[in-house]
A = this chain, B = another copy of it.
């Protein structure tokens, strides 16, 4: 593995040139996917020299380890570095890093097998994870369900390939973890036949909002659409390549999947029919982002990756891309940050069940805000995932703010029967009121008036069990904060 030691003045991920450098340096490490030797950095980068944008919150500045040194880790996606379908407070960390450190993390879409030629073949990381023959799977457990589930180990109770967990040294329940997304890059196809291109899959799935509410027969069909994205990042749009209707697939263990009920099932191409010439000449704007990104919940050892919650997770907000910063309430020791479910693009609602599911590599910086430093800062009392973009603050409401605590021991199943945009709107209202009253010091009447005239509520997703409504408020309307 080629080492990279961050040194003073290191600007990894900060300019296009250094992005290219880092990509080349990490090329080698990516082929190895070794879980136990991924510390790339550990050197002496001065944070101040990284020209990181100052956090909008004074708290960010005051608690960031400005005087310290930062390490920069590289975490490839491999069987050794991913959890398939669940968050876990007790999983072995892929890396333990300090506040201020950086990590470049590969994430793979769990839909890569929808077109394995384009998204798995020739990519050692993907091949290791998706490996499945009559004897074994590269990753056996897929989901937080029982290992002996008839449908497959883990029961598909959770579907996303998540890279991590990343253990943040010193993080404890009550702290706040700030995660800055420094860069996001598409993962090129490993197949020489598709050199220079990246692909993604959109599935109109059984869990989509449209399922059973179609005009044309069969009304309960699932449809996979393969999209092509430019791997160089020069083109800001995607195009459809072809689509096909899902047919019952028999996995290598002999289980039949009449619908897409278990992640990563290989598709027997002889059973499907490709329709080309679809969405002709239509340029779909891309919005690369991470659908699932968060810290581990405290409520259970293994938590399905599908419903989002107070610790983030499968928020599925396309605004969680390059330049965005997330703030999470830390629920367990080490925070256990995990990321995956990469998307090339998605609309608010993720209507049919998925985005353009497309492998991406992200560079992140982690800043730990200790509980004792929070009182009097805008991060005090943060009990939900908060997103900050260049222009806005974005809060996430869900049908249940913390479904694991609210729905009892069967919460991970029960949540799918309780989905409601109406409830998520209620939660988003209460969270935005809290945010304005605590971080902006407004009275309740002031907060409510402002929410009605200046906050935009949108439908994040209606497909993840715990449905989401986000609330967006422009930062520009507030006077400069005293530091």
A52 near B: Cβ within 8 Å?
no
B347 lies within 8 A of A243 (CB): no
Most buried by B among A351, A421, A469: A351
Q: Cβ of A214: which chain B residues have Cβ within 8 Å of it?
A: 444, 448
Q: In residues 184-218 of chain A, which contact B (Cβ within 8 Å)?
A: 202, 204, 208-210, 213-216
Q: Cβ of A477: which chain B residues have Cβ within 8 Å of it?
A: 237, 282-285
Among B223, B348, B430, point to the contact of A448 (Cβ < 8 A): B223
Closest B residue, CB atoms, query A477: B283
Contact with B along A330-361 (1 / 0, CB 8 A): 00000000000000011111111111100000
Among B284, B452, B476, point to the contact of A346 (Cβ < 8 A): B452
For the complex, what is the distance from the CA of A457 to the CA of B352, rounded to whole Å? Answer: 13
Contact with B along A277-299 (1 / 0, CB 8 A): 01111111100000000000000
Among B425, B443, B453, B469, point to the contact of A347 (Cβ < 8 A): B453
Q: Cβ of A209: which chain B residues have Cβ within 8 Å of it?
A: 425-426, 429
Q: How close is A380's CB to chain B, nearest CB, in angstroms?
A: 16
A425 lies within 8 A of B284 (CB): no
List the number of copies, as a whole number.
Answer: 2
Contact with B along A448-459 (1 / 0, CB 8 A): 111111111111
A446 near B: Cβ within 8 Å?
yes
A240 near B: Cβ within 8 Å?
yes
Q: Cβ of A356: which chain B residues have Cβ within 8 Å of it?
A: 453
A322 near B: Cβ within 8 Å?
no
A449 lies within 8 A of B348 (CB): no
A442 near B: Cβ within 8 Å?
yes
Q: How close is A139's CB to chain B, nearest CB, in angstroms?
A: 26
A376 near B: Cβ within 8 Å?
no
A445 near B: Cβ within 8 Å?
yes
Among B240, B283, B430, B445, point to the contact of A449 (Cβ < 8 A): B240
Most buried by B among A204, A420, A479: A204
Contact with B along A215-253 (1 / 0, CB 8 A): 110000001010100000000011010010000000000
Interface size on A, residues (CB 8 A): 68
For the complex, what is the distance from the CA of A420 to the CA of B467, rounded to whole Å? Answer: 14
Among B284, B433, B462, point to the contact of A215 (Cβ < 8 A): B433
For the complex, what is the distance from the CA of A433 to the CA of B208, rounded to whole Å? Answer: 14
Q: Cβ of A347: which chain B residues have Cβ within 8 Å of it?
A: 451-457
Q: Cβ of A442: which chain B residues have Cβ within 8 Å of it?
A: 279
A474 near B: Cβ within 8 Å?
yes
For the complex, what is the distance from the CA of A213 to the CA of B420, rounded to whole Å? Answer: 18
A422 near B: Cβ within 8 Å?
yes
Q: Cβ of A455: which chain B residues have Cβ within 8 Å of it?
A: 347-349, 351
A448 lies within 8 A of B479 (CB): no
Q: Cβ of A446: which chain B residues have Cβ within 8 Å of it?
A: 225, 240, 243, 278-279
For the complex, what is the distance from the CA of A452 to the CA of B291, rounded to whole Å? Answer: 13
A243 lies within 8 A of B457 (CB): no
A202 lies within 8 A of B459 (CB): no
A223 lies within 8 A of B479 (CB): no
B350 lies within 8 A of A454 (CB): no
Q: Cβ of A204: which chain B residues have Cβ within 8 Å of it?
A: 445, 448-449, 452
Q: Cβ of A478: which chain B residues have Cβ within 8 Å of it?
A: 281-282
Q: Cβ of A459: which chain B residues have Cβ within 8 Å of it?
A: 421, 425, 457-459, 469
Q: Cβ of A420: which chain B residues have Cβ within 8 Å of it?
A: 422
Q: How close is A316's CB to chain B, nearest CB, in angstroms?
A: 11
Contact with B along A59-83 (1 / 0, CB 8 A): 0000000000000000000000000
7 more A-B residue pairs beyond the given contacts A284-B453, A285-B454, with a C-beta to C-beta distance below 8 A: A202-B453, A209-B429, A240-B449, A278-B446, A347-B451, A350-B452, A420-B422
Can you sample 29 A-B contacts with CB below 8 Å?
A202-B449, A202-B452, A204-B445, A204-B448, A208-B448, A209-B425, A225-B445, A225-B449, A238-B453, A240-B446, A243-B446, A278-B443, A278-B446, A279-B442, A280-B479, A281-B479, A284-B477, A285-B454, A347-B452, A347-B457, A348-B457, A349-B425, A349-B451, A351-B429, A352-B448, A353-B452, A421-B421, A422-B422, A425-B459
